[in-house]
Structure 1
C-alpha cells in the first residue's frame, strides 16, 4: 500500500475512543488512560488527518499494542509511556517507509550482523550494577527496577521489609518452578468415574498441598513444600506461605545426592497426625505433626526453559533499547540470541584465565608462583602476536583473600596504620611484579575478587566466614592506586563477591566461599543414614571385589566414583536446586537484603565458578549449567600454582598446574 499525504485535522478524544477501545482493549486486553487517549488523538490527527479511520491507523494502533506488551509495561497505557513508544516508532520510520512497516510481522528492529560488536556484550557486573529483580507471585513474572540505591537512612529503613521478603520471594519463585515441572502438575481426569476411583484409592498424583489444607485430615498422606527451619523448641518445622507445621524425621529417607540444611526449601512426603507434635496448641497454630517418609530437593530447571517462562527478560541490564529514555530493561529477542550465539562460536581465540583462590600476596611462595605464571603468559602473548593468532586472554581473574591475616581495627591507631600499610604493600608488590610484563599490562583486564580477610568486612568478621556480610564489596581504591596507575584505563576491575560476567549470550557467576565444609557441617543426619551407609559399604566392597576379579581376568575395569566426585555432585545439585548462592539461615551467613537478588541463580547461569579453597578442583554439569571449583592457588604441601582456562566458544575448561 502506497503512503499518501493527508491534511491534519482536529479530532476529539471522544471520536477516537471507540476505535481505540476496539483494537487496544477488546483485542489486546489493554486499558488506555485519559491522558494517553489525548496523546493518541493528537498524534493520529496530525499523522493521518482525514484518513484517521483507514487501515494505516489500524496498523498504527496494532504496533503500539505489540510494543507495549513486548516491553511488559502493564495493562494500563499512560501518557508518558505512550509518548516514548511513539517517539521510538518515529525514529525507526526515518529509515523505512510507513507502508513497509505495516507489512512487518513484528515491531522490533532486528540488529544486523554487521552491527553486532562482541565488546558491547562483554561486561563485568557487580551486585550494585545489576538491576534489582523481584518475582511477582500474582503475575508470575519479574519486576525489574534500575533505581539506584538511596541514602543510608533510606536503606536502613528498607532492610526490615527486604529481609522478610527475601525468603518469601525465594518461596514463590521455587513454587512457580515446581508448577512447571511435569512431576508436580495436577493430574487431569477424563471422567467422573476415574476421579472417584482416584479419591477412593487416595492417589492424587504428586500434587503439592498447602500446610493450612492438612488441618482436619488426620492420617492422610500429603506432599508439602516449604522452608526447613527450627522453632523455639529446637524442633524441625516446615513453613510455607500459609502456616508452619512440626516435622518428625525419625523415619525419614532422604533423596540421595543432596545436602539438607536449615534455611533450604525442601519437598517432604508423609502422613499428617493430629495427635502428634510437642508444640503448644494455640488457636492460630496447626497442631499435630507431619511424619516425613521422604525428603527431597525441588528439581532445578534448564536455563532456556526458565528464560522462556519469564519472557526472556534481560536480568543483567546489558541489552537496552536506545530509543527508550532512562534505564528501561528490555527483553532479549530470539533473533538477537541466535546472532549472539553464532558470533560467540566464531570467536574461538577468546578465553578467560581464573587463578585459584587465596592468592596471599604477603607470601613469597605465592609471589614466586605468580612470577612464573606471568612469565609463561607473557611468552604466550608474544608468540600469538608474532603469529597473528590473537589468543590473548580477555581477563585474568585473581581471587582473594589477598592477605593471609585479616585486616582489622585495633585499639592502637599506630598498629592499625601499620596493618593498612602492610596490606597496601601487598598490592604494591603485585604492581612491581606486573610491571615486568608489559604485554600482560596492555592487553589483559585484571579482575580482583575479595575474600574473607580483605577490607573492610574483615574489620569486624576477623576472617570468620560466618560473620562475612554477603555480597562483599570490592577492595577499596586506596589500597590499589599504584596498580590502577600501571594498568590502562578500564583494565582494572575491582569486583565484588559474588560478581557476574556477561559474555555475549553467556552468564558467568564467580563466588568465593567455603561451601563444602559448610554443607558437611550443617547437613542433617537422619536415622536411616546409618543403615544406608552400611548398605553402601557392603555394595562398594562387592564392587571392589568384582573389579579386582575383572583385572585378574584381564577384563574391563568397573568405574567407581570417588567420594570427592560424589560430594562435588551433591554440592552442585543442592545449590542449583535451591536456585540461590546462599541457601542457609542467618546464623551461617549474613545477607545484605539490599542485594539479595544478586545471590539468586534462577534462571540458572551458563557457568558457575566456585572458589572453595578447602576442596579440590572439579567440573560438574547439571541441567545444562557447568559448575567448576578452582581450589587454592598454591597449596601448603607443594610448589604448584593452580589455575584454569575457560574457552567460551566451546564452553570448555582446562585445569592446569604450573610447577615452580
Structure 2
C-alpha cells in the first residue's frame, strides 16, 4: 500500500505574515515539481485564484491535490491555462451536470451506418450523407447488409463453429443455396424469404434462390415468419424445391457479445465513448449518478381529447417537485384521427400543441428544466408512410419550441444515450402488422399463463430482436428509405427498446434487452416509468420498469 503526502497549499488562519503571496507561489510550484509536473506562470496565476476561493472554506489542500491527481490521470507533463480550466471544470461538475451530459439524443438521419465486409470479415462505422431518394443498388445493398450482419453472427455461434479436436465439424453446417443442386438429404440453410412471383416464396442468400414449400414446415422458435425476414431452415431439396421440415429465427446475440465482436469504436454511434478508459469512466459515473435518471414514456397522446389534457395536468403536478425531473417522451399519434390533410387540419393541430404548451407552462419548473422528446406517429403531420420518418414540422410546433426550454422533436425511430445505456424509441403498430403478414402461424403455448395478446406481443418482440431490425416486413407493408435502413437495425441490441404499439402494455426482458410498450395513453391513461439504472449492486446496474395509470 502506498501513501500520498498532503502538501499545504496555503497558510491556516493566524499564521505569520512571512507566508506571503510569493512564498505561496514558490511552494505551489514546488508541489507540482515533486509530482513530476511543470506549471506555466499564467496557469499558476489562475490556479491560485481558484485556490483562494477554496481557502475561504478551508478546502484548499484537498482542492489542490484533487486538481493535481486529475492532471496526472491525463498523462500531462506541462500544465497550461487551457488544461487547468478543463480540469477545474471537470471537478466542479455536480451530479446534475453529469446526468445532463450523459443524456444524448440521436435522430435517425444523423445515425452513422455499421457496415460489414463479408470478404475481409471487418466492420466499419461510416458517417456519410444519404439521400431519401435511393437507387436500385441501394435496395440491393440494404438487404445484403441485413443478411451479412446476421450471417456473421450465426457463424460465431458454438453450434456452427468447426471443432478443432477430432477433426470433425460442428453440430451444424450451413449449406449455401447454390450447393443444393444435385445433393440430397437434409441440409441447414440461412437465408432471407423473398417473394419473386405472386404467392411464391423463395429462400435467398448471397449465392442464389430456391423455391420454398412450407406445407410440412414446423416452427422451432417463437416469433413471426414474414417476407424479408432472415430464417434458419432445415429441409431437403427435391426437383429444385426446398421442402421445409423445420424453420426458426436466427440465433440472437446479446449486446456485450456483439460489442466485443464488432469493437467498441465501431459501435460508438453517439461519438461519445470510443475507448475502454472512457467506457470505464462513464460506468463509474453511471453507478454514482445514474439512479437519478428517469424516463416517463407515453404513446398515443391525443391532444384533441380534453380528457387527455386533464390527465396530463395531474401527471405534471405529480412530477413537478421531482429533482431531477424525469425526461418526458411523448409518442404519437397526437390526434385521434389524421387532420393535416383536412381543410382546417393544420390550424387545429397548431391549436392542440398550443394547448399543450399552456398546460406545461402552468408548472414553471417543468417548463424551464424538464426535457421533452416528441416522437411522431403514423398519422402525425409531416412526411408520413415511409420509415424512418422525420420530426413533426416546426410549422405545427412553434409554441412548444419557443416556450418550453428543452423540447426536442425527434425522428421515428430515435435513440438516446444515458451514460453507457442505449435506448431506442419507436412508434409503430408492430403486433397487428406482423399478424397480418405472417406466412406461418406463430407457436401457441397452451400451458402459458399469459393471454393470447401477451403471447402475440412476445412473438413480435422476439421477431424484431432476433432479426435485429425494427421492421422485418415486406416493403409494401412497411416502406423504408433504402439508404436509411441502418437506422432501423438493432445490432448490437440496445439496452432498452421502447415501442409505442397499439396493443395493451407489455414488458419482456430478452437477451438483456428491456422491451417495453407503454400502451395507448388515450385509451386507459397508461404510461411507463423507466429507470435505466434502477439499482446499483456489486458494481452492476439493474434497470427498473414501472407501469402507471392516472
Which TM bucket (shorter chain)? 0.7 to 0.9
Cα deviation digits, residues 514-541 of structure 1 (max 9, x gap) = 0111111222236xx8xx86xx65xx5x
Distance 1:94 1:510, change over 3 A: closer
> CA shift at 1:295, angstroms?
0.2
**Corresponding residue SS for 1:227:** strand
1:521 and 2:436 correspond: yes
- Equivalenced residue count is 457
1:168 and 2:120 correspond: no
In the other structure, the counterpart of 1:405 is 337
> CA shift at 1:318, angstroms?
3.0
Structure-2 separation of matches of 1:127 and 1:316: 15
Structure 2 counterparts to residues 242-641 of structure 1, below 5 A: 242-273=207-238, 275=239, 288-319=240-271, 332-378=274-320, 380-381=321-322, 390-393=323-326, 395-409=327-341, 415=343, 418-458=344-384, 468-488=385-405, 491-525=406-440, 540=447, 560-613=449-502, 615-635=503-523, 640-641=524-525
Structure 2 residue runs without a partner (length 5+): 1-72, 79-88, 535-542
**Corresponding residue SS for 1:231:** strand
Structure-2 separation of matches of 1:493 and 1:139: 40
> CA shift at 1:189, angstroms?
5.5
Structure 2 counterparts to residues 633-652 of structure 1, below 5 A: 633-635=521-523, 640-650=524-534, 651-652=543-544
> CA shift at 1:255, angstroms?
1.2
In the other structure, the counterpart of 1:224 is 189
Q: Is the 8 A contact 1:206 1:223 kept in 2?
A: yes
Distance 1:652 1:113, change over 3 A: farther
Q: Once superposed, what is the RMSD of the aligned Cα atoms?
A: 2.5
Structure 1 residue runs without a partner (length 5+): 1-91, 98-111, 199-203, 276-287, 321-330, 382-389, 459-467, 541-558
**Corresponding residue SS for 1:267:** strand
Q: Is the 8 A contact 1:497 1:510 kept in 2?
A: yes
Structure-1 separation of matches of 2:329 and 2:345: 25
> CA shift at 1:115, angstroms?
9.4
**Corresponding residue SS for 2:285:** helix
1:180 and 2:156 correspond: yes
Structure-2 separation of matches of 1:357 and 1:633: 6
**Structure with the bigger percentage of strand:** 2
Cα deviation digits, residues 230-252 of structure 1 (max 9, x gap) = 22152221000010001111111
Cα deviation digits, residues 349-377 of structure 1 (max 9, x gap) = 52333333111111112111112212222
Structure-2 separation of matches of 1:122 and 1:299: 32
In the other structure, the counterpart of 1:547 is none
Structure 2 counterparts to residues 17-166 of structure 1, below 5 A: 95-96=76-77, 114=91, 117-149=98-130, 156=133, 158-166=134-142
Q: Is the 8 A contact 1:130 1:316 kept in 2?
A: no
> CA shift at 1:311, angstroms?
1.1
> CA shift at 1:262, angstroms?
1.1
**Corresponding residue SS for 1:620:** strand
Distance 1:93 1:396, change over 3 A: closer
**Corresponding residue SS for 2:194:** strand
**Corresponding residue SS for 1:649:** strand
> CA shift at 1:506, angstroms?
0.5
**Corresponding residue SS for 1:572:** helix
Cα deviation digits, residues 292-342 of structure 1 (max 9, x gap) = 11001101101011101111125454336xxxxxxxxxx732332222122
**Corresponding residue SS for 1:452:** coil
In the other structure, the counterpart of 1:16 is none
Distance 1:606 1:485, change over 3 A: same
Q: Is the 8 A contact 1:227 1:264 kept in 2?
A: yes
Cα deviation digits, residues 222-276 of structure 1 (max 9, x gap) = 1011011222152221000010001111111111421111110001001121x3x
Give the TM-score normalised by the residue count of structure 1. 0.65
Structure-2 separation of matches of 1:579 and 1:500: 15
Q: Is the 8 A contact 1:131 1:316 kept in 2?
A: no
Cα deviation digits, residues 42-81 of structure 1 (max 9, x gap) = xxxxxxxxxxxxxxxxxxxxxxxxxxxxxxxxxxxxxxxx
Q: Is the 8 A contact 1:249 1:292 kept in 2?
A: yes
**Corresponding residue SS for 1:293:** strand
Structure-2 separation of matches of 1:133 and 1:504: 21
Give the TM-score normalised by the residue count of structure 2. 0.78
Structure-2 separation of matches of 1:119 and 1:314: 25
